[in-house]
């Protein structure tokens, strides 16, 4: 019987610790649920991927003496990267527009400007 009591004590302590962890990470859970971190991470990763792809293609073309086959291969590499970048940019802008419509910024409204100084 003593072992069962010990298990219950451990379970209570773990549940209490889990509550503390959830409370400490509450801001992170909210940010993840709103998608802002995911959206920005995807956007900046796409910028990084584009930079790396263009740098690689430029260096490869220079190393080959601007051989037409290498340039054609660079176009083949950059075409899907550019399409993916366009899709990521569209996703980022659409979500940003939705966020701005959902939570309008009152500091730019006409009523705010009329009430300033009164």
Task: Report pLDDT digits (tens) over 74-105.
Answer: 999 899 988 988 888 898 888 888 877 876 55
The model's pLDDT over 51-60, given as tens digits with 9 standing for 90+, comes to: 999 999 999 9
64, 70 contact by CB (below 8 A)? yes
With 0.75 as the threshold, say if the pTM is over it.
Answer: no
d(CA 54, CA 74): 8
């Amino acid at each position: 019987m003593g072992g069962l009591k010990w298990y219950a004590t451990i379970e209570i302590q773990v549940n209490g610790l889990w509550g503390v962890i959830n409370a400490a990470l509450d801001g992170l859970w909210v940010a993840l649920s709103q998608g802002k971190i995911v959206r920005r991470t995807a956007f900046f990763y796409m910028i990084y991927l584009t930079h790396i792809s263009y740098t690689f293609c430029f260096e490869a073309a220079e190393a080959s003496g601007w051989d037409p086959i290498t340039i054609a291969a660079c176009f083949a590499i950059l075409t899907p990267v550019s399409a993916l970048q366009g899709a990521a940019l569209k996703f980022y802008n659409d979500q940003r527009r939705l966020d701005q419509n959902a939570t309008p910024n009152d500091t730019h409204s006409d009523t705010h400007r009329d009430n300033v100084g009164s």
